Amino acid sequence: MTAQDSSAILIFVGVALGGGLGSVVRMLLARWEGSGVPMGILVANTLGAVIATVAYQLDLGIWTLIVSAGIAGGLSTFSTWAAQTAELWQSDRKADAINNLLLHLMVPTFAVLITLFALNS
């Protein structure tokens, strides 16, 4: 086995384990409904975006992939956000659906920008 093979195996296993960990944390956060929008998934997506940003900015070598694709990838979710937004819309909670849509676009983006500012200043 070459060093390149060992690195590929480490990345594969690390992403799988990190993804599992991130998914469990997301599942626990998803229980937090909030008053108008599902706050747990908003928090999970925001944390995932910040974690991936930190990993890429710190350039952690192979750990960048393990942390960003594994932990942050498992933690964040586009499908749950889309499904929850559609569910709010279909439940005649159109204002909450629009708020959920906008919050998920704005909050993680601003969190990433603040993280970039903090890491680069």
Q: What is the DSSP letter of 59?
A: T
Span 102-115, average pLDDT = 97
pLDDT score at 8: 87
Provide the whole-model pTM: 0.90
Handedness of CA 61, 63, 66, 72 (dihedral sign): negative
Work out how many domains the chain is built from and give that number: 1
What is the average per-residue pLDDT within 24-43? 92
How far is Cα 69 from Cα 34, in angstroms, rounded to an integer?
A: 28
Tokens 């969190």 belong to which residue? 111
Residue 46: domain span: 3-120
Cα–Cα distance, 69 to 48 (Å, whole number):
10
User: Which pLDDT belongs to residue 12?
Assistant: 93
Q: What percent of the chain has pLDDT over 70?
A: 100
d(CA 74, CA 30): 13
Cβ neighbors of 82 (< 8 A, separation 6 or more) are none
